[in-house]
Structure 1
């Protein structure tokens, strides 16, 4: 009887994990990439995130959404990796085009827009980690100030301050003008 119950619980955990991977897999990969700036490393971290999720599913207390919980695991995994000796002693590779970008044959105006977006993203990746993570979560992942605060465990006013500093830095890098206003 207990064996059947354990088998059912394991099957439920596996199904939930598959659902979480389908829903949040791309997000985890994007966030990891913004930290490590190398696709293969980001994929490795993504796998590690979902292994940790599976191992911790039974202890999930529903005090936050799965989305926030997975963001938190991702951020912690990325920060652990960035702090590691091996990461500090590797040279990050240049930005790798996504599969969709490689397949896309677009008119010159779309190509120019893509180049501008890539250039902007490169500038975002050059920000300090604290500024980069708030820009990524706010603009690329569409999280609110409050959600970012919950994910990276920093007060909302600190998030606002970092967003402001990041915007100023990016504005200076691209040569002024109005940029990333709320």
Structure 2
């Protein structure tokens, strides 16, 4: 799939289906708003479709899409529109139908961890999300964020420490 050009929309549709959820997660970690996330996700794929000719193949398509998503998200965060609006939506996960005590405790712990990660400064949050949730390695993260690899590693260490301290503080 990655070596093919988007000669027809069916190939592009396959690409969207394969990566849309990953891109939504990344965008949401920046904008923390579901409606904005959907808008930016659409912009990411529209940009990818329009600019596929500029894709040099030096990375995977997923890495390229993640970079577009991060750039579009950061552009939004710099915009006047974002600065004029206070974001009030937080991560809301659907709880399962199970009512066992363990499931409830696990869900609460997961929600608390997600809340703590979302409250991290963006420079730590983005590397934590890309490393643990998107399963990208330090080199890919370095390329996506235009950072030195040692900076990525340092931010991962500091981000983990912040999460650990805040998680322990909250019980």
TM normalised by structure 1 equals: 0.84
Structure 1 ranges of 4+ moved more than 6 A: none
Is contact 1:13-1:54 (8 Å) kept?
no
RMSD of aligned C-alpha atoms?
Answer: 1.6
User: CA shift at 1:53, angstroms?
Assistant: 0.6
Q: Secondary structure at the match of 1:74?
A: helix
Match of 1:94 in 2: 89
Match of 1:4 in 2: none
Q: Secondary structure at the match of 2:51?
A: helix
Match of 1:131 in 2: 124
Match of 1:6 in 2: none
Match of 1:43 in 2: 38
User: CA shift at 1:30, angstroms?
Assistant: 0.2
- Partners of 2:147 and 2:8 lie apart in 1 by 31
Q: How many residues align?
A: 164
Is 2:142 the partner of 1:157? no
User: CA shift at 1:142, angstroms?
Assistant: 0.9
- Partners of 1:61 and 1:18 lie apart in 2 by 20
Match of 2:9 in 1: 14
Structure of larger gyration radius? 1
Q: Which runs of 5+ in 2 are unaligned?
A: none
TM normalised by structure 2 equals: 0.89
Match of 2:72 in 1: 77
